[in-house]
């Protein structure tokens, strides 16, 4: 089976490949002509290694890492299932599971960085996070609060009909994090800053 392009973003091209009956996602970070070649190579290498390392130590369900060249290419499991963006409006209670998953991620000091319902898959009754291309490790309460802030913005943008109920469910799930009180307290400051910027 020839590789099929699944998508292309600002940073990488995503392919679907099948080897010995196993579907794999191949993520290739492409060179950027506007960057100095040496800088471009270093950035692609650093980001590829960081993403691979996070996939190796995920404390929650997510795509298995198969291999990486440590330069620009990652091969990982193709996660079958339904995107949560197609399900949440019909069942806002899914957001509680999202909160529980993020709590475990943050307790392992992993920041997702792009927490939208497009990057979540329901496989039978199991919720998986995908696309860790912008992820990084951090112990900072601020980074964890920003992760939640971005998720809340995604609810407001894509799931406005159920956003209040979904966010309440999310908070119930996230409450299982040992960092929850501090992170949610910092979140108030993050959101206040966001509102102030919007006024300008």
Model confidence, pTM: 0.92
Question: Among residues 114, 131, 143, 147, which one is catalytic?
Answer: 114
- Is 69 known to be catalytic? no
Choose which CATH entry (3.30.200.20, 3.30.530.50, 3.30.300.160, 3.40.50.720) describes domain 4-77.
3.30.200.20
Is it true that 4-77 and 82-199 share their CATH fold?
no
Burial of 64 (0-12, 13-18, 19+ CB in 10 A): middle
pLDDT digits (tens, 9 = 90+) for 111-153: 999 999 999 999 988 999 999 999 999 999 999 999 999 999 9
Measured distance CA(138)–CA(7) in Å, rounded:
29
Q: What are phi and psi of 187, to 5 degrees?
A: -55, -35
| Domain parsing of the chain, residue ranges | 4-77, 82-199
Percent of the chain with pLDDT over 70: 96
Residue 59 — pLDDT band, cuts 50, 70, 90?
very high
CATH fold label, 82-199? Transferase(Phosphotransferase); domain 1 (1.10.510)
Question: Could you give the angle at the alpha carbon of 109 between the alpha carbons of 107 and 112, nearest 5°?
Answer: 105
| Distance between CA atoms of residues 142 and 123, nearest Å | 31
Please list, in sequence order, all residues whose beta carbon lies within 8 angstroms of the beta carbon of residue 132, skipping any fewer than 6 positions away: 51, 54, 55, 58, 62, 112, 113
The reported pLDDT for the residue numbered 68 is 97
């Amino acid at each position: 089976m020839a590789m099929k392009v699944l998508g292309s973003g600002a940073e990488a091209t995503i392919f679907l490949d099948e080897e010995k009956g196993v579907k794999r996602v191949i993520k290739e970070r492409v060179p950027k002509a506007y960057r100095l070649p040496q800088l471009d190579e270093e950035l692609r290498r650093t980001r590829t290694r960081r993403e691979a390392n996070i996939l190796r130590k995920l404390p929650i369900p997510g795509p298995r890492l198969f291999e990486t060249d440590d330069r620009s290419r990652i091969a990982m499991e193709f996660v079958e299932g339904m995107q949560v963006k197609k399900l949440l409006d019909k069942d806002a209670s899914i957001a509680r599971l999202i909160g529980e998953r993020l709590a475990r991620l943050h307790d392992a000091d992993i920041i997702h960085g792009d927490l939208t319902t497009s990057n979540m898959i329901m496989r039978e009754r199991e919720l998986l996070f995908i696309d860790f291309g912008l992820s990084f490790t951090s112990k900072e309460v601020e980074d964890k609060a920003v992760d939640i802030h971005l998720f809340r913005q995604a609810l407001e943008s894509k799931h406005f009909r159920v956003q209040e109920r979904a966010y309440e469910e999310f908070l119930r799930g996230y409450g299982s994090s040992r960092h929850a009180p501090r992170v949610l307290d910092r979140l108030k400051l993050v959101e206040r800053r966001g509102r102030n910027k919007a006024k300008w």
